[in-house]
Amino acid sequence: MPTEQLTYWFPLLTDNSPFLFAVLDKSHNYLVVNNRYCELSGYSREELVGRGDKEILGQAFYQTLAPYYERAFNGEAVEGEVVLDDNRHETSMHFSITPLKNDNDEVHYVVLHSADTSERQMLVKSLEELEHQLNQLHDASSDGICVVENNIVLSVNQRAAKMLGFGAAKDLLGEDLGRIIFDMQTQRLLGAQLSQLPLSEARRCYIGPEATPDTTFLLSLSDITMLGSPAKLVMLRTPTDNRLPQGQIDQLVQTDALTGLNNRHGFTRKLEKLIASNTPLVMLYLDIDNFKNINDSLGHHIGDRVLQEISQRLRQLLPENAVIGHLGGDEFGILLQNPEHDRIGDLISQQIIALVSQPFNLHHFSKHIACSIGLVTYPGNGNDARILLQNADTAMYEAKNRGRNRLVKFDESMNKEARMRLWLEIELQKALQKNGLEVWYQPKVNAKDFSIDGAEALVRWKHPVEGYISPAQFIPVAERSGLIEQLGRVVMREVFTTVCEWKKQGLLQGRVAINLSPQQFGNPKLIQFIDKLRKSTGINPSDITFELTESAMMNDGDHAIQMLKAIKKLGFALSIDDFGTGYSSLSYLARFPLDELKVDRAFIKDIESVPKQVTLIENIINLGKSLNMSVVAEGVETHQQATLLSNLNCDSIQGFHFFRPQPKHELEALLLKNSRRSA
């Protein structure tokens, strides 16, 4: 296959795969790679071409595969397993290498297919460890344990063998248990009745010839599955059995298996004891920001390593008497007893934020992580464990709402806001399920003749009881609750369908803009959704602009470049919204493939009263045009502002002076009226 065809077809066939695919030349450098390489390395496809495993996947990986590459270039198809150990984490990869032969049976390229099998290996290892632990528990149990199928003993521990009068466990295998045990009530062998005993009911039994204190026991059954077939677990107990100490049982129940910290139950128990003893407390409720992205992109086994390392860092940082809990998912709780002063919570929180933000070495590259913290005190913010945890959780979510990676202290006003957010979340979920959201449109006008030239799509929510609810209220709730992606998909589908209709009727000139939230933009599956929707609706990509804020793109620059390029490759235009109010780093304008720059309303509102604003706007317009970007001014509310922007060679204008956002049918009527007038 010619190289041009190979580089065209290869990404189409492999980009949706979770595995690594690459075509390598004789120097063992990449000719073409699939999207998984980009996700793991942080490089774009173009940046990866010409590089090799040594730089991207590490020296150990390359040294292991190099001999296999040579065998493949000699015409042999090979496969194997690589184990990479960086003295911190062990990673296993399964690979296959296939030669690509030309018409002359020559091999100029090979195809590498590699899959991270660490999670599978960890699962196998965990299952083996679990089996070993179960066998130990089985053998060490003070109860007699048998597994029977049709009353025949398949598995038994030594304790059961001794209770039933056998010298060794193996001597009991294959025996019919019903022919060994007598029922105390009927004084007869259980026989076939054994498998019909009520589940979990303890039946007093004995072994012949007669019942004595040494030969009686309690028998109970449970249903289990053995190699896919129904079986019974038979438990034999005597009144004199030794039990595991209650304290040891409590310890096991209250400990998180992954981190070794208190689990939510154990943390709550210790909190309750401290409250009962009237011990002054500071509680910190910690949540890892965007932790889902680690699990989604790198796998849950990598996410587990992050949680374990965070646990270790917290142990090293915090005082010895601090109570630390892994409360589930990516949330941690910390109790600081008898605080020395009022600022201790602030100081410890800042140390935690700094500690968590230090890079984590994951899968041969580093990852920076942030966290949000809520703080409550006892006494002061609640009188029982449930209220304190609830208030700390509320404060933590407020920290996320204020921009993440910060501490927020609880106050009572947050409870009212939290209840309102919860109500909004529940109602918004209902609205999404019942198609209760509307898409409105705010027209843009050409700055030269003020004719309609495109529009921006805006979501609106009319509650059946409360009426229209401001986007400023429900959009943050959608972002916090994870509903924003579903909401965004609803808007996108509606806009694509509507724009197709308008364009077929010749009603609308220009593009319609759709806002992408940071959460949408951060999800690699966005590209796949846009592409499927493009095909199903028949939308012309040149009729749509996707708008993003500076902060959405600057959170992860390398990921942003990959996403932007992928959207551009599908044919859509890209706009930077609220320019000048976020990072204001001009370097990204050159790096990112943007088509449009939107001047924020903050610059426009003072344009008539602050002379320097005019100079600033003029420079922004000139900057955009010099980078081949069109410039849109938003928030225009007066004729003077519109005229001035027109004289400054702005391309488009958007604002209440011309049009307010309006429902689809109203804009459609306006466009139809303008169309007839033009005709």
Model pLDDT for residues 26-48, shown as the tens digit of each residue: 899 988 888 888 877 778 888 88
Domain assignment present for residue 679? The answer is no
Q: Is 620 helix (H, G, I), strand (E, B) or coil?
A: helix
**DSSP per-residue string spanning 533-598:** HHHHHT--GGGEEEEEEHHHHHSSHHHHHHHHHHHHHTT-EEEEEEETSS---THHHHHS---EEE
341 with 463, same domain? no
* Model pLDDT, residue 87: 47
Whole-angstrom distance, CA of residue 453 vs CA of residue 600: 19
pTM above 0.75, yes or no: no
Query: Binning pLDDT at 50, 70 and 90, where does residue 414 land?
Result: confident
CATH code of the domain covering residue 334: 3.30.70.270
User: In the predicted model, what is the mean pLDDT of the chain?
Assistant: 83
Q: How far is CA 535 from the centre of its chain?
A: 27
Using DSSP bridges, classify how beta strands 596-599 and 573-579 pair: parallel, antiparallel or unpaired.
Answer: parallel
- Paired strand residues for 183: 188, 205
Rg of the chain, C-alpha, whole Å = 33
* Model pLDDT, residue 229: 75
Task: State both tokens at 490.
Answer: 């609803």
Lowest-pLDDT range, 469-473, 533-537, 554-558, 650-654?
554-558
Whole-angstrom distance, CA of residue 486 vs CA of residue 474: 14
Residue that is written with structure tokens 């008539």 in the block: 608
Residue that is written with structure tokens 């706009």 in the block: 575
* Model pLDDT, residue 54: 83
Domain assignment present for residue 129? The answer is no
* Model pLDDT, residue 242: 46
Determine the number of helices (DSSP H) and then strands (DSSP E) in the chain: 26, 29
Is the pLDDT at 503 greater than 50? The verdict is yes
Q: Is 230 helix (H, G, I), strand (E, B) or coil?
A: strand
97 with 17, same domain? yes
Among 237, 265, 287, residue at a domain's last position: 237
Mean pLDDT of 536-556: 84
* Model pLDDT, residue 659: 94
Query: Binning pLDDT at 50, 70 and 90, where does residue 494 land?
Result: very high
Whole-angstrom distance, CA of residue 485 vs CA of residue 516: 9
Lowest-pLDDT range, 149-163, 227-241, 253-267, 348-362?
227-241
Is the pLDDT at 295 greater than 90? The verdict is no
81 with 202, same domain? no
Q: Is 175 helix (H, G, I), strand (E, B) or coil?
A: coil
Longest distance between any two alpha carbons in the chain, whole Å: 111
Report how far apart, in Å, the C-alpha atoms of 577 and of each of 176, 441, 515, 553 are.
77, 16, 9, 11
Question: Comparing C-alpha atoms, which of 145, 171, 143, 140 is closest to residue 156?
Answer: 145
pLDDT in tens, 315-336: 999 988 899 999 888 899 999 9
SS (H, E, C) 499-524: HHHHHHHCCCCCCEEEECCHHHHHCC
Among 237, 271, 301, residue at a domain's last position: 237
pLDDT in tens, 137-158: 666 677 888 888 888 888 888 8
Domain assignment present for residue 312? The answer is yes
What is the domain range of residue 348?
A: 253-410
| CB distance 453 to 509 below 8 Å | yes
| CB distance 607 to 641 below 8 Å | yes
Is the pLDDT at 585 greater than 60? The verdict is no
Using DSSP bridges, classify how beta strands 360-362 and 407-409 pair: parallel, antiparallel or unpaired.
Answer: unpaired
Is the pLDDT at 179 greater than 50? The verdict is yes
Question: Comparing C-alpha atoms, which of 171, 168, 178 is closest to residue 203?
Answer: 178
335 with 257, same domain? yes
Whole-angstrom distance, CA of residue 46 vs CA of residue 533: 26
464 with 389, same domain? no
Residue that is written with structure tokens 């708008």 in the block: 547
Report how far apart, in Å, the C-alpha atoms of 409 and of each of 337, 346, 377, 413 are.
17, 9, 9, 11
Domain assignment present for residue 417? The answer is no
pLDDT in tens, 619-644: 889 988 988 999 999 999 999 999 99
300 with 385, same domain? yes
Is the pLDDT at 498 greater than 80? The verdict is yes
CATH code of the domain covering residue 149: 3.30.450.20
399 with 511, same domain? no
653 with 566, same domain? yes
Whole-angstrom distance, CA of residue 666 vs CA of residue 663: 5
Q: Is 484 helix (H, G, I), strand (E, B) or coil?
A: helix
* Model pLDDT, residue 386: 87
| CB distance 589 to 615 below 8 Å | no
490 with 622, same domain? yes
Is the pLDDT at 252 greater than 70? The verdict is no
552 with 655, same domain? yes
404 with 428, same domain? no
Domain assignment present for residue 91? The answer is yes
* DSSP H stretches of helix in 244-322: 246-253, 264-276, 291-298, 300-317
657 with 621, same domain? yes
Q: Bin 322: left if φ > 0, else alpha if -120 < ψ < 50, else beta.
A: beta
Provide the domain count of the chain. 4
Mean pLDDT of 582-593: 68
Whole-angstrom distance, CA of residue 602 vs CA of residue 191: 87
Mean pLDDT of 611-626: 88
CATH code of the domain covering residue 443: 3.20.20.450
- Paired strand residues for 512: 455, 544
Domain assignment present for residue 418? The answer is no
* DSSP H stretches of helix in 385-483: 385-401, 413-433, 471-481
Domain assignment present for residue 378? The answer is yes
* Model pLDDT, residue 399: 86
Task: State both tokens at 402.
Answer: 């204020």
Question: Comparing C-alpha atoms, which of 369, 329, 374 is closest to residue 482?
Answer: 329
Is the pLDDT at 88 greater than 80? The verdict is no
Domain assignment present for residue 246? The answer is no
Long-range contacts of 136-143 (CB under 8 A, 24+ apart): 142/241, 142/242, 142/243, 143/235, 143/236, 143/237, 143/241
